[in-house]
Amino acid sequence: MDVLAFRGAYHGMTAGSLALMGDTAPREEVEVLGHVHHLPYPYEYRPPLGIGGEAEHRALAREVETALEDPLSGVEDPAAMVVEPVQGEGGSIPAPDEWLREMRRITREHDVPLVVDEIQAGVGRTGSMYAFEYAGIVPDAVCLSKAVGGGVPLSVLLYHERYDEWASGAHLGTFRGHQLGVAAGRGTLEYIVEHDLPAHAARVGERLTSCLDESADGRPELADVRGRGLMLGVEIVDAGQPANDDGSHPPDADLAMAIQRECFDRGLIVERGGREGATIRFLPPLIVSESEVDTIAERFEAGVAAALNG
């Protein structure tokens, strides 16, 4: 059976998840599963169809629907669609709410299970408990990890009861359901709910976004500030190169690395992701304070200024 995934996707480093990944480089030396169809994912700064805006989102949804309805599309009876509501390693790219609602409608009408990967975005990071909640959808399965363990390795798969066909004891393993991870996960979830960290992430995330917008103002090299809550990114481009037909400029990985180094020298660790690793990613702890957000912004501003003047 086939699986539907998306360009720019990142779902992990095992053979099965590598097959779903949009980046082909990590799987060059690995034998991965076949029959994965990578569909275009909405990307405001670099619209894959070159249309942009809501018209682009509708066209992208139609592309998915056509792939499932056209008998010559090459897609055969998909086992699932796997999607990140906010692409993480792909460059902190949030899916438009209406587009995600269309993915839910299309998969439901064609009896394709919708699997939402919330491993990076879930458990409060985007300003809601789960990023898919912005679109008001109910997926068939949700993958969770990272934050859910509160620092202890833990992953969780939530799915609709109609898919619960495991016989008792059929899914065994030394580290599955280990007590320390489950206890840490329960404590983490209780703390997040009790202190309403999703709302806190939304509030301080807006503050950080505003600061990043100020840094980008008047600097065409900082082409796009995007994300949700405390899952943010700034795409770095070579503004001296001619723009593409959609108005975007080529990614500037060298400048992004220079900014990352300058930030590190100032005590600020930032990730890079996206096309050519040219998106600076911000993933501060969910308990980050407003004053700490201001410090992050100040050190990023200083790092950008030093990299551009260097």
Q: Which residue do the tokens 């009876």 mark?
A: 77
Q: What is the CA radius of gyration of the chain?
A: 20
Give residue 15's pLDDT.
82
Alpha-carbon distance of 266 to 296, in angstroms, equals: 10
Q: Could you state, in order of their start, the residue ranges of all structural domains in the chain?
A: 3-194, 197-309
Give residue 273's pLDDT.
97
Count of beta carbons in the 10 Å neighbourhood of residue 51: 14
Count of beta carbons in the 10 Å neighbourhood of residue 309: 7
Q: Which CATH superfamily, name and number, covers 197-309?
A: Aspartate Aminotransferase, domain 1 (3.90.1150.10)
Topology of 3-194 in CATH?
Aspartate Aminotransferase; domain 2 (3.40.640)
Burial of 199 (0-12, 13-18, 19+ CB in 10 A): middle
The catalytic residue positions are: 10
- Give the number of C-alpha atoms closer than 13 A to the C-alpha of residue 24, restricted to the C-beta side: 3
pLDDT tens for the chain, 310 residues long, are 799 999 999 998 888 889 898 888 888 777 776 789 999 999 999 999 999 999 999 999 999 999 999 999 999 899 999 999 999 999 999 999 999 999 999 999 999 999 999 999 999 999 999 999 999 999 999 999 999 999 999 999 999 999 988 888 777 777 777 889 999 999 999 999 999 999 999 999 999 999 999 999 999 999 999 999 999 999 999 999 999 999 999 999 999 999 999 999 999 999 999 999 999 999 999 999 999 999 999 999 999 999 999 7
Q: What are phi and psi of 121, to 5 degrees?
A: -90, -20
Those residues whose C-beta lies under 8 Å from the C-beta of residue 244, and which sit 6 or more positions away, are: 46, 250
Confirm whether 3-194 and 197-309 share one CATH topology. no
